[in-house]
């Protein structure tokens, strides 16, 4: 799991490595899920991560945001017609409810995420990174 830090902004990023993990962590999640669709060589994707961290800080949220590398795992991007990168997608109850293609202004992103998620994404017990019972299969972790 990678962490992006800029000042006191912190987001943990878990990369989805296979379709089963996407289904389990995104489509079957009991809470809203934020997914960043990216590619390795995308500078705007790296910049978007910092902007998302800023939005999280402004909202007072902490969250694990899932990443899908659309080159290594193209099926979810194809299924949801994600054509450009970066694209931030919000899933709720197994449905894509909003997508944010391209780089976004942090204030506009913050307003829209607040409209969609209210007080912020929550983690049910057992789904926090490193929590007992959390299912790490399909998630990239440092050194593993």
Give this prediction's pTM: 0.72
For the record, the structure tokens of 72 come out as: 């290594």
Q: What is the DSSP string of 26-77?
A: IIT-SS-EEEEEE-TT-HHHHHHHHHHHHHHHHHT---EEEEEETTTSHHHH
Q: Find, among 34, 32, 123, the residue nearest to 86 by Cα.
A: 34
Domain boundaries, the chain: 2-117
Give residue-wise pLDDT tens across range 69-107. 999 999 999 999 999 999 999 998 899 999 999 888 877
Given the candidates 3.40.30.10, 3.40.47.10, 3.30.420.40, 3.40.50.2300, the CATH classification of the domain at 2-117 is 3.40.30.10
Give residue-wise pLDDT tens across range 37-54. 999 899 988 888 877 777
Percent of the chain at pLDDT > 90 equals 33
């Amino acid at each position: 799991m990678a962490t992006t830090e800029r000042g006191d902004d912190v987001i943990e990023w878990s990369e989805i490595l296979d379709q089963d993990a996407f289904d389990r962590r995104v489509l079957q999640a009991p809470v809203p899920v934020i997914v960043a669709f990216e590619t390795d060589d995308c500078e705007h994707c790296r910049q978007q991560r910092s902007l998302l961290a800023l939005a999280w800080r402004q909202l007072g949220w902490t969250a694990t945001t899932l990443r899908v590398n659309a080159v290594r795992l193209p099926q979810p991007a194809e299924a949801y017609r994600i054509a450009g990168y970066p694209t931030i997608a919000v899933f709720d109850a197994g449905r894509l409810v909003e997508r944010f293609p391209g780089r976004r202004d942090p204030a506009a992103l913050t307003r829209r995420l607040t409209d969609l998620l209210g007080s912020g994404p929550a983690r049910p017990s057992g789904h926090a990174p490193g929590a007992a019972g959390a299912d790490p299969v399909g998630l990239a972790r440092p050194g593993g």
